[in-house]
Amino acid sequence: MTVVLGFDTATNATVVGLRLADGETLQARDDPAPHGHPGHATRLLTMARDLLAQAQLGWSAVERVAVGVGPGRFTGLRVGLATARGLAQSLDAELVGVSTLRALALGARRPVDAAGADLGTIAVVDARRGEVFAAAYPAGGADEIAFEQALSRSELEQLADEIERRGGPAGERWQAVGDGALAYRSELLAAGVIVPPPDSPSHLLDAAALCELGADAVAVTALETVLPDYRRAPDAALARGRALAAAARGGDA
């Protein structure tokens, strides 16, 4: 089995996993203090090195690098992608990109009632500006139901109905997980979606799930083809657009 180093920096948390040849996955995560800055740039490589040391392995043992490509925060995604490409090149390792939403959902799936029936899982990442990134994964293993654009607070209140309109199973029961689910809990509850308690591990991206998806993915032949899933323009680009529009209106006056 391939030794996989996987990490995700799409959210405030820095999540790192090392899947060993026997299938065991060692994990580490760094969560900044409330209102603190993420430690992606300063902590990522140190965390990876510590996991390798724990496994008594050197960097040369890494055969594949799996990186979370988002959607998520712009700065974090840039740090993660740059680090992944650099490691893959320097270690002569394979590189794969993994959906942050898919990894979040995979780690959260578990029996939820006495009958052992699973809920469908909606992975929700806080996109700030009152929006979230989301994707739904039916319990029966059907294909991902993706939302290509960030969703607003009001759209979340109709989320279950919209998933069904997009081909989701009729009558499916859903749970929403992730920092976006916690930030907009009331809107999701209004949509009939279950949100686990704030201290539930379901809301945390699981490094073992990230590495599992990375191990199953097809490696790219060119490192530059693994790209971040921004899903919308950066804040700076939007600000420039608003400034240009205001200037144009002023010129028409």
- Contact assessment for residue 134 and residue 183, using Cβ atoms and an 8 Å cutoff: no
pLDDT digits (tens, 9 = 90+) for 56-93: 999 999 999 999 999 999 999 999 999 999 999 999 99
Q: In this prediction, what percent of the chain has a pLDDT beyond 70? A: 89
**List of domains in the chain:** 4-101+205-236 (3.30.420.40), 111-203 (3.30.420)
* Alpha-carbon span 144 to 212, nearest angstrom: 17
Question: What pLDDT was estimated at residue 115?
Answer: 43
Q: In this prediction, what percent of the chain has a pLDDT beyond 90? A: 82
**pLDDT confidence tier of residue 249, bands split at 50, 70 and 90:** low
DSSP string, 70-103: -SS-HHHHHHHHHHHHHHHHHHT-EEEEE-HHHH
pLDDT digits (tens, 9 = 90+) for 192-248: 999 999 999 999 999 999 999 999 999 999 999 999 999 876 554 444 544 555 555
Question: What pLDDT was estimated at residue 142?
Answer: 76
* Residue 152 CA: distances (Å) to CA of 4, 50, 124, 165: 36, 39, 12, 18
- For residues 131-138, give the mean pLDDT: 97
Tokens representing 144 are: 């991902």
Q: Which amino acid is at 70?
A: G
| pTM over the 0.85 mark | yes
User: What does pLDDT average to over the chain?
Assistant: 91
Q: Which of 18-27, 112-121, 173-182, 208-217 has the lowest mean pLDDT?
A: 112-121
